[in-house]
Every structure is written in structure tokens, then in C-alpha cells.
Amino acid sequence: MFKNKIIRVLISGFGAAGATFLLQVVISHHLTISDFGKYAASNSMLSIIGPLAGMGASGLFLRKACVNPSQVNSLASLASLSLLITTSLAIALSTIVFVNSDIGVLVAICFATYYVPQTVQYISVAYAQFEEEFNSVSILQSLLPMVRLIVVAASTVIMAINLTNLALALCLSHLCAFILLAGAHKRSKPKYLLNFSVKFKELVQYLRESVNYSFNGTLNIAQIQISTVFSIYLFGSTASAVYSAANTILAACYILPNTIFGTYFLPKYHKLTPSHSSYMIPIRHAIASFAGGLLVALGLFVSADLIIGSIYPKDFGAATVILRTLACSLPFRFFSTALGAAILSEQSIGKKLMASVGSILFQAAFVYCFRSYGISAIACSYIFSELLVAGLYYTIYTNHFRSLKITVAE
């Protein structure tokens, strides 16, 4: 039973990551390298702001529902209302950010529509995780990236792709994905009943509590994507395109630990009791994950030339060196993903956020000091920041578990 569930989750995770990766490849072959750099930077900003659209509402819902299953109705109503408010704010914020760049108002608005289907995905996946309905998780996680890929790929056949036409195609894909996600969630027959006549105080309190979960998602993505943003501002859109090509392949490797620990084991970690045997479960998972990261890094390092040369146009050849450098970070990322899921609780999330902020500040300081080395400095900063996060997460986890045992003993 365990193997069947985790295999289904992995298949969906790889399907979603594969679709996202293929979308990047398709776009790279139809845009100029400069326009692709602008798209990559914009996409990174969308990813960073994305969790703010969810405002942690779905993460908080999953945590509270696992701890108090009897409150699922009121929690689902609060989460849904919170998502409506925060998604509207995220669309406005991202549009303002993009308009102030040189991509244009129409392109900015089209890109920002990404948050509409993503919001439905957030709450739908969280509820499916709570129910441990991993068939539904598989479908819901894959729909948005698959629809984006299909619509954009079809658009390349119908019309010439420039930045504006790409934005219009993505806007259409977001509308289609929203309809499909809403329909899929309804067909799963959720057992909760939404009641939007909630007290204003309760809604404000829920939003306040969800802030940490929101920043957790934003900072996790920022650790990965902020490098692409650095590259366009420091070295131009062509450098951003090259870095993004390597970073996209690296991010595709994260789907394995993210799916296993962030999707499958997360609700189980929420239910752990404070005992030595429970303490060792995430530690063993983290060690095994580190070993898996070493194997993936070795494979990526050896095959970097083949991967970049086979997938991207020849203008992206410089991405090979960046990919080999970034591959060295994978063991630390795999390790921290397991422990990061285990410390996603009200007691530890503040410290987890501080660790992520420290990682981003470290990257920024490193890049500033070594910017004369070009985008290689950005890649190196990422390796050291991942090592820093792995060490901090381990410290936070061990201290958190000791405090839990002391509380229970008292």
C-alpha cells in the first residue's frame, strides 16, 4: 500500500516537473535568447510571489486539519476566503512589478493570471493530502503545468512566438487550467461544506497565522529563483537566459525529494509523537535523501554536456559549466528538504524562515563580493547557501524535538 501511494505521488511529481521543464525548452527554441532571459526572470518573480498568493492558507489548513480533523469544515471555509483575498493582492503586486520592467502592460497582466489556477490547486492539493487521496494529488499537481505546455506548444504551430504572443498563450492556458482544476476538485467529492459567513475576526486571525506559512513557501522558492533575478540585473538578459537554462534542469531534480517529503510524508510528520523513535524517522530520511542527492549530482555532472547540447539551442552552451557547478548543491538540498518538512510547525517555522532569509542574504553578499567572476559567482553562492541551510535545518530540528520532549515530560 505504501509503495503504491508513493509511486503515484512520484509519477505526478515527475509529470508536473517534466511538463514545466519541457515548456522552458519549447520556449527557448522560439524566443530570442534576450527575450527568453526576460521571460525567465519574469517567471522567477512569479514563482517567488506565488506562495504569497496562497498566503500559506493551504499549508496552514493542512497543518490544522491534521491536528484537529473535526474542524475541517471551518478551516476549509477560512482557507478559501483567505485565498480569494491574497490571490487578488498577488495579481496586483506582480502586475505592478512587471509593468515597471520593460515587458509591457499586456504581457505583465497575462503573466499575472498564473495565480488564478494556482490558487485552486493550492487548496485542492492540501485537502487531498489531508485525506491521503494521492490519486487526486497526482491529478491536481499535474494539471496546471500540463495545460500550460499543451497550449503553448499548440500556439507555436499556429503562430510565430514572440514575448507578447507567448504571454497571450499562457493567459489562455491559465483560464483552461482554472476550469479543469475546479472541475477535478468538484469531481473528487470533498467531504467538507463551505460556509462563507465566517466572522471577520476569525478570518483576520487565520490570515495572520498563515503569514509564516506564506513566507516559508516564498523564501523556499526565492532561495532557488533569486539567482535568475540577480543574473538579469547584474549581467543582462542573455546571462539570465543561460543561468535559467541550467537552473531549470537543477530544479527538475528537486521534484524527487519535494514530492516524497513535501507531499507524502508532510502530513505524517505533522502526526509524529515526541519520542526517540519518532525523532529518528526524519533523520534517517534526511541521510537517505543526502545519499540520493549525491547520486543525482554525479549523474548530472557527468552528463551536463549531453543534456544542455541535446535540449537547448547552441547559444546556451555556456550553461554546461553552470549546471556542473550547481549540481554540487544537490546533496545538501536533498538533505534539507527532508528536515525542512519535519520542522514545518507553528513552533519552528519562525526559525525556519530565519534560516531561509539568512541563505538569501548570504547569496546576495557573496554575489556582490565576487560579481567580477560573472554568473559563476551566482552558481557558487548557491552551493554554499544550500550547505548553510542544511546545517541550520538540522540544528532547528534537533532543538525543536528536544523542546517537545521537555514539554511532554512537564
Report yes or no: 147 and 15 within 8 Å, Cβ to Cβ: no
> From CA 36, how far away is CA 18, in angstroms rounded?
19
Predicted local confidence at residue 408, as pLDDT = 37
Report yes or no: 184 and 143 within 8 Å, Cβ to Cβ: yes
Task: Please name the residues in contact with 6: beta carbons below 8 A apart, sequence gap of 6 or more.
Answer: 260, 264
Exposure string (b/e) for 8-33, b if CB count within 10 Å is 16 or more? Answer: bbbebbbbbbbbbbbbbbbbbebbeb
From 135, 123, 120, 117, select the one nearest 188 (Cα to Cα).
135
Q: Which three cell numbers stand for residue 212?
A: 509564516
Query: What would the mean pLDDT of 37-46 be, rounded to a whole number?
Result: 79
From 145, 122, 124, select the one nearest 56 (Cα to Cα).
122
Confidence of residue 327 (pLDDT cuts 50, 70, 90): very high
Across 67-71, 103-107, 111-115, 283-287, least confident range: 67-71
Query: What would the mean pLDDT of 147-170 be, rounded to a whole number?
Result: 90
What H or E segment, with its residue span, contains residue 315?
none
Predicted local confidence at residue 298, as pLDDT = 94
Amino acid at 383: I
Report yes or no: 176 and 151 within 8 Å, Cβ to Cβ: yes
Q: Which three cell numbers stand for residue 163?
A: 514575448
Please report where in the chains the cell 527557448 appears, as a residue: 28
Percent of the chain whose predicted confidence (pLDDT) is above 70: 78
Task: Please name the residues in contact with 328: beta carbons below 8 A apart, sequence gap of 6 or more.
Answer: 297, 301, 383
pTM of the entire predicted model? 0.66
Task: Please name the residues in contact with 181: beta carbons below 8 A apart, sequence gap of 6 or more.
Answer: 117, 120, 121, 124, 140, 143, 144
Query: What would the mean pLDDT of 13-35 be, rounded to a whole number?
Result: 79
Q: Which three cell numbers stand for residue 63?
A: 497543518
| Burial of 306 per CB tally in 10 Å (0-12, 13-18, 19+) | exposed
> From CA 136, how far away is CA 25, in angstroms rounded?
28
pLDDT digits (tens, 9 = 90+) for 363-383: 888 888 888 888 888 889 989
| Burial of 91 per CB tally in 10 Å (0-12, 13-18, 19+) | buried
Mean model confidence pLDDT for the chain: 78
Q: Which three cell numbers stand for residue 400?
A: 525543536
Report yes or no: 210 and 57 within 8 Å, Cβ to Cβ: yes
End-to-end, the C-alpha distance of the chain in Å comes to 38
pLDDT digits (tens, 9 = 90+) for 208-260: 777 666 666 667 777 777 777 777 777 777 888 888 888 888 888 887 787 77
